[in-house]
Chains A and B, each alone.
Chain A
Amino acid sequence: DVKVTQSSRYLVKRTGEKVFLECVQDMDHENMFWYRQDPGLGLRLIYFSYDVKMKEKGDIPEGYSVSREKKERFSLILESASTNQTSMYLCASMPGPGTYNEQFFGPGTRLTVL
């Protein structure tokens, strides 16, 4: 079974802190994604990566950056956390190539910024 793990289930940070969210997948997938989930808004794509050291902006990249130094790991970075970044963050991976494949999700990290 594909396993996508996220470093923390719950995280509480202060405004202005630099925050790292880590995601690791164990199935050698080429593609990885970061979403945030907010009630009534569904999932919104922040960033994604289709190869090591490659990244592309999603729909809401402002205030975030990412890093993918190894194939299995995709990190989301909040350079200076703000209260409006309080949310559930979901990581996903997907095998490639092919547009028919489904994404596999991690359990999520619920981030609270005070």
Chain B
Amino acid sequence: AQSVAQPEDQVNVAEGNPLTVKCTYSVSGNPYLFWYVQYPNRGLQFLLKYITGDNLVKGSYGFEAEFNKSQTSFHLKKPSALVSDSALYFCAVRGRRGSQGNLIFGKGTKLSVKP
């Protein structure tokens, strides 16, 4: 069965420091992986996805993610955190329901960036 895990409920970072939000996955077949961000009282916004090709994927707002097949990980990264990056981050993997496939989400990681 397809699944993702986000091992940290919360990540605290100082503004200007690099940030990493962790995600590991378990799939049968090729992994299609996604990152979303949710600001308070808002819906989810798409950040980036890995389908195939280069292991380093670049996305919106300066975020990038590194796909590592041997470690079954897809960690979200940013070289220099901003206070405005504080939000809830979700990792997701494509599931197998229906003809198009659903998304299976992790439980989310709350990122807090302090000035």
Knowing A43-B90, A99-B94 touch, does A105 contact B100 (C-beta < 8 A)? no
Contacts of B98 in A (CB 8 A): 31, 48, 50, 56
Interface residues in B40-56 (C-beta closer than 8 Å to A): 41-46, 49, 51
Report the interface size class on chain A. 20 to 34
Q: In the assembly, what is the distance between CA of A45 and CA of B32, in Å?
A: 18
Contacts across chains A and B counted by CB atoms under 8 Å: 69
Is A48 a contact of B43 with CB atoms below 8 Å?
A: no
A100 engages B46 (CB within 8 Å): no
From B42, B43, B46, give the contact of A102 (CB < 8 A). B46
Determine if B58 is an interface residue (Cβ-Cβ < 8 Å): no
Q: Is A100 touching B32 in the complex (CB atoms < 8 A)?
A: yes
Chain A residues 18 to 59 lying within 8 A of chain B, measured CB to CB, are 30-31, 33, 35, 40-43, 45, 48, 50, 56, 58
Which stretch in B64-72, B73-81, B104-112 binds the other chain? B104-112
A42-B107, A42-B108, A99-B32 in contact; A4/B43 too (CB < 8 A)? yes
Contact A45/B34 with A104-B46, A105-B45 known, Cβ cut-off 8 Å: no
> Do B43 and A105 touch (CB < 8 A)?
yes
A41 to chain B: which residues have CB within 8 Å? 107
Q: Are A42 and B90 in contact (CB under 8 A)?
A: yes
Residue of A nearest to B110 (CB): A39
In the complex, per-residue mask of B79-103: 1 if CB is within 8 Å of any chain A CB, else 0: 0000000000010001001111111
Question: A99 near B105 (CB under 8 angstroms)?
Answer: no
A108 to B102, CA, bound (A): 18
Interface string of A56-92 (1 = CB under 8 A from B): 1010000000000000000000000000000000101
Q: Which residues of B are interface residues toward A (Cβ below 8 A)?
A: 9, 32, 34, 36, 41-46, 49, 51, 90, 94, 97-103, 105-108
